[in-house]
Amino acid sequence: MGSAQIRTQPTTGSTATSGFILAGGRSKRMGRDKALLDWHGMPLLNHMTALLQRATDDVKVVGRDHFPDRLPGLGPLTGIETALTVTSTDNNLIVAVDLPLLTADFLIFLRQAAEHSKSPLLACKIRSHFPLCFAIRRRLLPDVQRRLSKGDLSIRGLIEASDAEIVSESKLCKLGFEPAIFRNLNTPEDYLNIQNQ
């Protein structure tokens, strides 16, 4: 399944950035653990780890093994809380395990954009949707914890209340990134369709 933490070489001249893969979901609609799905001969989790390695200084997998969700069963917000609790850097990239079409080029862009942003959170918006792939600063941890304590588990709510910098779909397209990179795997049908592309 791969290591829970993988060290990579820092990018020269960049602010240190940690990468986190959210892999604690129950995968109810898929019917099996999405992190262990085969992706071109390797577990999906290994594929996502290799991608994130190319854009960050170290990668941790949260929601299992060494970094279990501190408040399990509350969705991705609890994984974000775990990540911001254990991170050693202010800048962090958060990526769901079920986004196999992401590219290293996009993740490097996301890191660099976050490094130059004054906002504590940088997210992409595809139509009305915020994919579970964004940059977040450690200082948002208290806000995430408050939301969890109140039962407000909405990722959209976190983004919209965080003075976030939003990268529009049109800007992504101008930069050469197709919205299709954010297609995720929720069901066996999604898995088959994406594999057949």
Q: pLDDT tens-digit profile of 145-161?
A: 999 999 999 999 999 99
Collapsing DSSP states into helix, strand and coil, what is residue 1?
coil
Domain limits for position 68:
5-195
CB 195 within 8 A of CB 41: no
List beta partners, residue 96: 22
pLDDT band for 12, please (50, 70, 90 cuts).
low
Reference 131, options 91, 90, 177; nearest CA is: 177
The maximal CA–CA distance of the chain, rounded, in angstroms, is 44
Reference 117, options 90, 85, 83, 81; nearest CA is: 90
Say yes or no to pLDDT of 82 above 70.
yes
131 — phi, psi (to 5°)?
-60, 155
pLDDT of residue 13: 59
Number of C-alpha atoms within 13 angstroms, CB side, residue 65? 14
| 11, 138, 166 from 112: Cα distances, Å | 10, 17, 14
Say yes or no to pLDDT of 4 above 60.
no
pLDDT band for 83, please (50, 70, 90 cuts).
very high
The Cβ of residue 70 has, within 10 Å, a number of other Cβ atoms equal to 15
CATH number at residue 171: 3.90.550.10
pLDDT band for 165, please (50, 70, 90 cuts).
very high
Rg (CA), the chain: 16
Q: pLDDT tens-digit profile of 167-197?
A: 999 999 999 999 999 998 877 788 888 877 6
Say yes or no to pLDDT of 11 above 60.
no
pLDDT of residue 193: 83
Total domains present in the chain: 1
